[in-house]
Each structure stands twice: as structure tokens, then as C-alpha cells.
Amino acid sequence: MNFIQSALEALESLSSNKLRSGLTVLGIVIGVGAVIAMLAIGRGAQDAITGSIGSIGTNLLFVFEGGSDEVRSPKPLTLGDAEAIGDPFQAPSVVGVAPILQGGVEVTFQREGTFTQGSGVTPAYETVRNVTLSEGEFIREEHMLGRSAVAVLGPDTAETLFGRTQGIVGETIRIEGQPFRVIGVTEAKGGSGFTNEDDRVLIPLTTAETRLLRRGRGEVDMVIAQAFSADAVGQAQQEITGILQSRHRTPIGEDDFTVFTQQNFIATAQSITGVLTIFLGGIAAISLLVGGIGIMNIMLVSVTERTREIGLRKALGARRRDILIQFLAESSLLSLMGGLIGIALGWGLSTVVGFIARASNADLNPAVSLDAVLLATLFSAAVGLFFGLYPAKRASDLEPVEALRYE
């Protein structure tokens, strides 16, 4: 009995009970479809998050105050630290530095008000963070020097306060009750990722320091540095670490600051979405398992129904192996068909989810990957073999005499 013949015979046998075979296949279809769709959606989420991290700038390093838990009373980051990092002699790999003060602020315009993130920034922020303006201009050096009460709004904030994102330059808003003149509005970057870049208000660092977000003299919350190329990020990280270690005079191994690279963020986000994907895929795999049990169930019924046929085949000279192959061929064919249709279903589901995401303006584009398809195919074939093995074994173990007598 060759392979093609077994497959044809299995197909014939399965097609003699189409409804039953169809329902059994459905279990596998749903399982495989769910696995593929979940993996695709997970992949899409990963791409979206990676993309949004990428969109905040390129080759960035983020310096925060505080190191590991054991380090007590860390020294705060200061403008002096930022200047040192920006010094081309001390840190040749760094091309731009943007110290930042951050805090939640209440912003009002006439009767409209909102609570959003206020950031005190320097003019360098514009290039380092790749900010583009839809109208007006960004904070300039003279605003810094004059501690001017000027603000650049994110488009979502502008929309909340004014009901529009155009023609806002020149209006006066109040931040924490103090009047600020709007000098620019940033372009929408798409509201996703871990912070919403479109809902914020940017003001000169000096203004923030003296009037809004009071800290110790010269202290900043975060320093963003930009390396001159992607390859220089590691080098820049070492330079910044060296500068801060000497400036803060930290003991070896007890840095009181943390330098994150964009790659670190991406890696962290990917490991989170990776866990999420595995979780979703795992839940979907349970339905595949249930489908496999469905196959086993139906094959057991089939073996019982066809006891006489098995007895006859054995009487005519079928060996155990022949019977085993016959029933394994049927269960494998069931799961293989389920797998193929399931791949189509999973692909369809992913596409539908992509459509819905786009319709609701979410930045999620599910991607069916080849490895997910291969995984699902292999897994479903394995399910068919595994769950088909027991019924097939039972069929092949039947005693011919008793099987022939079976009513």
C-alpha cells in the first residue's frame, strides 16, 4: 500500500460522511486560524510599538536620575551634566543634547481646560526629538534667555482647548493659572506608544524651572542625547556613563543614573509584546488542542463503527501496520485539511482586524508571518498524528475473530 493510495482511500472514507468530517475539521480550522491570527496580531502590535518608539527620533539615549535599588541618595541630573554630555571633547559621539523638566500641568483657555504633560525644553529638543510644526515656530534661544511665557502645543491639546489645530498661534492660554502665548503647534505623530506625543505642552526650560516645575537649582528630570549614527549609540552610552560617573563621583558599580538607549526601549517593548503574543498564541493553541480531541473522538467512533470492516481486512491479510496506516491517514488528512483552511481563516481574520484597526485609526497592521504558517501547519499535522495514534492503535489491535463477529 503506497502513500498516495492510502491518502486516496482515506479521502474516500472521509467523504462518505461529509457532515461529520466537516465538523471535525472545523475544530482544527478554528484552532489553527486562531493561532495564526493571534500571532499575526501580536506581530502587528510589536511592529506598531517599535515603529512608535522609532518615531520619537533616531539614535537617542535617555539619561535618568537613579540607578539600581541599592544606590542611596542619588545625585540629581543637572544642566551642568547636560552641558558636559553635549561637550564634543568629552563626548564626541553625541551630536545633540536636550535636558528636560517634566510634570503634569493644568492648561486652560477661556472655559476649556485639560490636564496634560508639561515639558520644559531647550531649542535643541526640536532637532533631537525630530519635532515638526504644523504652524508657528519652536522655542528659540531668546525665549530661554528671557524666560518667556511662550508655549508650543501638541495637536490633541490644541484640539481640546480650541476645538481646532489651526490659527492658534498668538492666542493666550493659562498654564497653572499663568498666561502663556502660543507660538507653535506640533504636527500629529499618531497617538500611540507609551506616551502620547500629541497631547502635551512645551515651554522654555528656564521658564519651567522658575515658574512652573520648581526643582533644585539647575536640576533636570531627564537628558536626551542623540548619537551621530546608529553605530555610535553604544559608544555614546559609554561616553555619557563615563562623564556622569566622574561628575557624580560615584563608586564603581554604583551608578546613580541610568542610560537607556532607544534600542533598550525597543527591546523591552518587544519582550513585552513577545510575552503577549505567546500568551495569545497559547490560548489559541488550546483551541487547537480541543480540535485534536475532536479528531480523536470521531476516530474512536469510526473505529467502533468499522470493527467488522477491520476484521474483514485482517482476514484478507491486512497486517497491524496496514490498519494503523489506514486510520492514521484519515486522522492526518482531517487535521491537514483543517490546517490549510485554518491558515486561510487566520489570514482572513488578520486582514479583518487590520481593517478595523485602520477604521478606528489605531496603528495596528497584523502581519501573517511564514514561520507562524509553518508552525501552525506542523502543529496541526502533529495533532492529527498524536490524537489519531490511539484510535488507530486500537483498530490495529483488534482480534480478527472478534472483529468479524462484531455486530
* Distant-in-sequence, close-in-space partners of 242: CB < 8 Å, separation ≥ 6: none
Region of 8-16, 166-174, 194-202, 248-256 interacting with other proteins (CB under 8 A): 8-16
The distance of closest approach from Cβ of residue 51 to other proteins in the complex, given in angstroms and rounded to an integer, is 56
The distance of closest approach from Cβ of residue 350 to other proteins in the complex, given in angstroms and rounded to an integer, is 39
Cell numbers placing 115: 490636564
Residues 307-346, one symbol each (x = binds other proteins by CB under 8 A, - = not), give -xx--xxxxxxxxxxx------------------------
Region of 9-17, 42-50, 140-148, 342-350 interacting with other proteins (CB under 8 A): 9-17
C-beta of 3 vs 89, nearer to other proteins: 3
C-beta of 367 vs 404, nearer to other proteins: 404
The distance of closest approach from Cβ of residue 334 to other proteins in the complex, given in angstroms and rounded to an integer, is 18
**Subset of 15-54 contacting other proteins (CB under 8 A):** 16
Compute the distance between CA of residue 163 and CA of residue 10 in angstroms, rounded to an integer.
Answer: 67
What DSSP element (H or E) covers 65? strand 60-65
Is residue 365 a contact partner of residue 37, using CB atoms and an 8 Å limit?
no
Size of the site for other proteins (CB under 8 A): 22
Closest CA to 110 of 163, 165, 186, 150: 163
C-beta of 200 vs 314, nearer to other proteins: 314
In the DSSP assignment, the letter for residue 253 is: T
3-state secondary structure of 305: helix
C-beta of 121 vs 318, nearer to other proteins: 318
Region of 11-19, 213-221, 276-284, 350-358 interacting with other proteins (CB under 8 A): 11-19
Q: What is the CA radius of gyration of the chain?
A: 32
> Residue 219's beta-bridge partner residues?
78
The distance of closest approach from Cβ of residue 19 to other proteins in the complex, given in angstroms and rounded to an integer, is 16
The distance of closest approach from Cβ of residue 9 to other proteins in the complex, given in angstroms and rounded to an integer, is 9
C-beta of 214 vs 405, nearer to other proteins: 405
Count the Cβ atoms, other than its own, within 10 Å of residue 120: 27
The distance of closest approach from Cβ of residue 400 to other proteins in the complex, given in angstroms and rounded to an integer, is 5
Compute the distance between CA of residue 133 and CA of residue 96 in angstroms, rounded to an integer.
Answer: 19
Q: Which residues of 193-218 are buried (b: 16+ CB within 10 A; e: fewer)?
A: beebbbbbbbbbbbbbbebbbebeee
C-beta of 274 vs 400, nearer to other proteins: 400
The distance of closest approach from Cβ of residue 394 to other proteins in the complex, given in angstroms and rounded to an integer, is 15
C-beta of 121 vs 398, nearer to other proteins: 398
C-beta of 9 vs 221, nearer to other proteins: 9
> Residue 115's beta-bridge partner residues?
106
> Residue 133's beta-bridge partner residues?
186
**Subset of 160-189 contacting other proteins (CB under 8 A):** none
**Subset of 373-402 contacting other proteins (CB under 8 A):** 399-401
Compute the distance between CA of residue 171 and CA of residue 212 in angstroms, rounded to an integer.
Answer: 20
Question: Exposure of 275 by Cβ count < 10 A (0-12 exposed, 13-18 middle, 19+ buried)?
Answer: exposed
The distance of closest approach from Cβ of residue 306 to other proteins in the complex, given in angstroms and rounded to an integer, is 10
The answer to the question of residue 8 lying near other proteins (CB under 8 A) is: no
* Distant-in-sequence, close-in-space partners of 178: CB < 8 Å, separation ≥ 6: 149, 211, 212
The answer to the question of residue 112 lying near other proteins (CB under 8 A) is: no
The answer to the question of residue 404 lying near other proteins (CB under 8 A) is: yes
Residues in the site for other proteins, rule: CB under 8 A?
1, 5, 12-13, 16, 308-309, 312-322, 399-401, 404
